[in-house]
């Protein structure tokens, strides 16, 4: 069997899925994407793409699209919720490109998805295909879709998000749990808040039981904000997915005028409940594996969930290239072994940031602020282990191998 004859089905149609599909296709595999929705869409506004993710997207030939649609924040600025005093600042661009050869970007999710999808042939994206079952047959994997379609492939990759049907089929039923965090998400036309004279970077505001992040997207035309608050339970009947601006303002009562001005300038606000799962010890079964939120969902408090899904795709492609015509099932386990320590570390760090960001004012908060003032945990240099990592280069097979041009 040659690489080109290895048929791979990727289930899902999100950022991670399409990056994996593109990386696999560019590496020479025969790849098809199966997404349940009738069109490719991304819910929500903006997303941070750190250098470890933009590096891969650029290697896949997407630099022009990213540069056209994205924004390069000059830095991050972390501030206190009430008086706006600075807790820490860190430069991002052009430093990230100088240090790591890839920029830090912020971009609208729909734009990012469109940029990635533009690199993948549309005729290999099968919309309206909701996976309802699969079976590992040893030499192949079979899958069934709600619309009656049945496929037989050499490898199947489940990248169908936190409620993954592939994960359930492979590893059994286990419901994700509510994290106690709810986000208010909104987009504000930049000219509407011009009087704030916002700096050209990301800002995050931390306070008791909550934090709010804002940054520019859509070539700077829109400001994206996400305000996180804590709640004991999530009851869909109590909330609507579309929250009112008034409700968001009430959640950030007493916060700095800049925060409240940004929320108030939004036409509407969406609400998002955050779910989580414990890290998995493994996630491949036979010729099927998982990728992205399907196997390692994380709190978005390191801004790395989609970045890890993007890395997964690059590593998976590189592992399959390195394995050549070797045993595909063993190659999937190799991919998983390479990814597990890094994604588990980020799952744990992201979860811990909920506590760090949401401290009540008091001695622990003061100690945290003092530590941030000196340590600067946001600086690109401190995050070298995270940013200076090329997931497309894998070892060991014989020599380091890359699947990307």
Cα distances (Å, whole numbers) of residue 296 to 190, 195, 280? 34, 41, 7
Comparing C-alpha atoms, which of 93, 259, 96, 83 is closest to residue 188? 259
Residue 165 beta carbon to ligand FAD: minimum distance, rounded to whole angstroms: 4
Between 144 and 372, CB nearer to ligand FAD? 144
Between 211 and 322, CB nearer to ligand FAD? 211
Task: Using DSSP, state whether 187 is helix, strand or coil.
Answer: strand
Residue 5 beta carbon to ligand FAD: minimum distance, rounded to whole angstroms: 25
Between 161 and 380, CB nearer to ligand FAD? 161
Between 322 and 380, CB nearer to ligand FAD? 380
Comparing C-alpha atoms, which of 305, 314, 337, 321 is closest to residue 389? 314
Tell me the residue ranges of DSSP E strands in 193-328. 202-207, 210-217, 222-230, 242-243, 269-276, 288-290
CA 196 to chain centre: 29
Task: Using DSSP, state whether 341 is helix, strand or coil.
Answer: helix
The edge-to-edge listing of strands for the beta sheet with 288-290 is: 125-126, 30-34, 7-11, 155-158, 288-290
Residue 301 beta carbon to ligand FAD: minimum distance, rounded to whole angstroms: 9
Candidate list 34, 184, 215, 387, residue with the active-site label: 215
Residue 228 beta carbon to ligand FAD: minimum distance, rounded to whole angstroms: 8
Strands 125-126 and 105-108 turn out to be: unpaired
DSSP codes, 292-330: GGGT----STTS-HHHHHHHHHHHHHHHHHHHTTS-HHH
- The phi and psi torsions of 214 (rounded to 5 degrees) equal -140, 145
Q: Which residues bind ligand FAD (CB under 6 A)?
A: 11-17, 34-37, 44, 47-48, 130-131, 159-161, 165, 183, 185, 226, 272, 292-294, 300, 303-307, 309
CA end-to-end span of the chain, whole Å? 23
The edge-to-edge listing of strands for the beta sheet with 131-136 is: 131-136, 141-145, 150-153
Between 230 and 371, CB nearer to ligand FAD? 230
Sign of CA dihedral 392, 395, 400, 403: negative
Catalytic residue flag (residue 215): yes
Strands 288-290 and 155-158 turn out to be: parallel
Structure token digits, residue 178: 């509510």
- CA–CA separation, 218 vs 184, rounded Å? 19
CB 344 within 8 A of CB 337: no
Between 52 and 190, CB nearer to ligand FAD? 52
Residue 134 beta carbon to ligand FAD: minimum distance, rounded to whole angstroms: 10
The DSSP element (H or E) to which 139 belongs, if any, is none
Residue 396 beta carbon to ligand FAD: minimum distance, rounded to whole angstroms: 27
Residue 143 beta carbon to ligand FAD: minimum distance, rounded to whole angstroms: 9
Residue 312 beta carbon to ligand FAD: minimum distance, rounded to whole angstroms: 8
Between 21 and 320, CB nearer to ligand FAD? 21
Give the residue numbers marked as catalytic: 215
């Amino acid at each position: 069997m040659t690489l080109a004859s290895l048929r791979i089905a990727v289930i899902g149609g999100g950022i991670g899925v399409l990056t994996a599909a593109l990386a696999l296709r560019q590496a020479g595999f025969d790849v098809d994407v199966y997404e349940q929705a009738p069109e490719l869409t991304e819910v929500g506004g903006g997303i941070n793409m750190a250098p470890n993710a933009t590096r891969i997207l650029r290697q896949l030939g997407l630099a022009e699209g990213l540069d056209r649609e994205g924004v390069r924040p000059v830095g991050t600025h972390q501030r206190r919720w009430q008086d706006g005093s600075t807790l820490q600042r860190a430069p991002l661009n052009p430093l990230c490109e100088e240090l790591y050869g890839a920029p830090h970007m912020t971009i609208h999710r729909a734009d990012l998805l469109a940029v990635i999808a533009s690199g993948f042939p549309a005729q290999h994206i099968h919309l309206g295909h909701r996976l309802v079952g699969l079976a590992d047959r040893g030499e192949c994997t079979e899958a069934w879709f709600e619309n009656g379609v049945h496929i037989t492939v050499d490898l199947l990759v489940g990248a169908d998000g936190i409620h993954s049907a592939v994960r359930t089929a492979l590893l059994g039923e286990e419901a994700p749990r509510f994290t106690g965090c709810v986000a208010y998400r909104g987009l504000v036309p930049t000219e509407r808040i011009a009087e704030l004279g916002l700096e050209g970077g990301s800002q995050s505001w931390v306070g008791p039981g909550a934090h709010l992040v804002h940054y520019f997207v859509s070539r700077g035309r829109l400001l994206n904000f996400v305000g996180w608050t804590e709640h004991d339970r999530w009851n869909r009947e109590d909330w609507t997915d579309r929250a009112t601006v008034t409700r968001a303002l009430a959640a950030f009562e007493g916060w700095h005028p800049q925060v409240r001005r940004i929320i108030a300038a939004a036409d509407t606000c969406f609400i998002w409940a955050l779910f989580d799962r414990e890290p998995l010890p493994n996630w491949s079964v036979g010729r099927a594996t998982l990728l992205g939120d399907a196997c390692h969902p994380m709190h978005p408090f390191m801004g790395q969930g989609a970045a890890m899904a993007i890395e997964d795709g690059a590593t998976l492609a590189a592992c399959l290239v390195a394995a050549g015509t070797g045993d595909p099932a063993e190659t999937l386990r190799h991919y998983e072994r390479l990814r597990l320590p890094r994604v588990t570390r980020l799952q744990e760090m992201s979860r811990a940031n909920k506590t760090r960001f949401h401290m009540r004012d008091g001695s622990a908060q003061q100690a945290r602020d003092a530590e941030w003032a000196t340590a600067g945990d946001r600086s690109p240099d401190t995050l070298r282990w995270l940013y200076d990592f090329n997931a497309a280069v894998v070892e060991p097979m014989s020599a380091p191998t890359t699947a990307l041009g």
